[in-house]
Structure 1
């Protein structure tokens, strides 16, 4: 009888370990999955107007800061790997957007980081400029973190800044949709994927007792996702009504 109970306990532990491993894998790659249909849509239509590259700016800054937050306060390795995957995903999106925009560009005028023109910040023509900006930002963060790493206040502030930027992830897209009065290039399916991902992520933070900053971030992201979902439904209905 005792042996049977032990075997049952081992089976439960094994199942829980497998679920935990799958949840970790989903956390690492799940944040990037909603951008796959977006990437495919831009490739198919050869038009990137429906995607705000400011989303890439927000996510790159948030995840670079999160990596330095991890250096000061070692939380789950899963969340560190998630940041690395998200940074690579954002670079892939920026590279595609630059390629599409340069292909469709009517004017030969190029906007470069070296122009130091604030009007065209994050609207550069070359992908290399985005890489250079992120490299400079990373070096700056590294120097400041090295100097203040022993300060608990600095580390917690760094974490709060990281999740604040991440919490604002959908805000550029929300504002762009409102400005254009359109959600062209977006679908209910895609936004539902975003929302489901953020719900799962927030649940993961709560269950794994991640730093409080992460839970707050996830909750704010869910609210913004719902707002974008309402925009997609409303603007699509409005478009159909005009066509009808």
Structure 2
């Protein structure tokens, strides 16, 4: 029994407008799940769920963005020319350069129209077959411990681990990576980007939630009420959801 990382959820002031930006940025399809509330994004000619891609749900929330996001997306590029062209195209779509203290690095840090930070990575061999999203990057204080939790939670393969970072990927060797990066910044507010996991068909989501609690997850009340999903936090307090099997 395990869960699959099927999508990330991204909070927004306007799910429709932010959904349009990311659909154009990734060249993905978008659809309205609930008008004014949720916009779904997924690759073209894609059958959900499939580990070849992690989809995006953009969700309208009343809370504004106040701090740097602890979870962000890294976009893949195939060459220096591709990186420069992609940055230019994203800026035309409404992205803006942002300084998060990155200094002199080969990747480019941008913010989407609502201020959500993301990176356009320089060409990396490891990202050659990920699709447009190279990695989902999460800040943490202990990459080794977080890699143990998430590897067991999703049965993902650990590719690299040091005191500074950890890198995991689907056991099927497809789709984006999960990169856990050590940072001194403490978590202070609810994450505006979080992971959504889905049990396999026939699995019991309550049993799966119990398994994750045994690994170190904990329950959290975000006002979800009697929603069909279960809200949990990982050992460092990052929110994630267990959806219904599908």
What range is the shorter-chain TM-score in? under 0.3
Report which of the two has the higher share of strand.
Answer: 2
TM-score normalized by the length of structure 2: 0.27
Larger RCO, structure (CA 8 Å, separation 6 or more): 1
Report which of the two has the higher share of helix.
Answer: 1
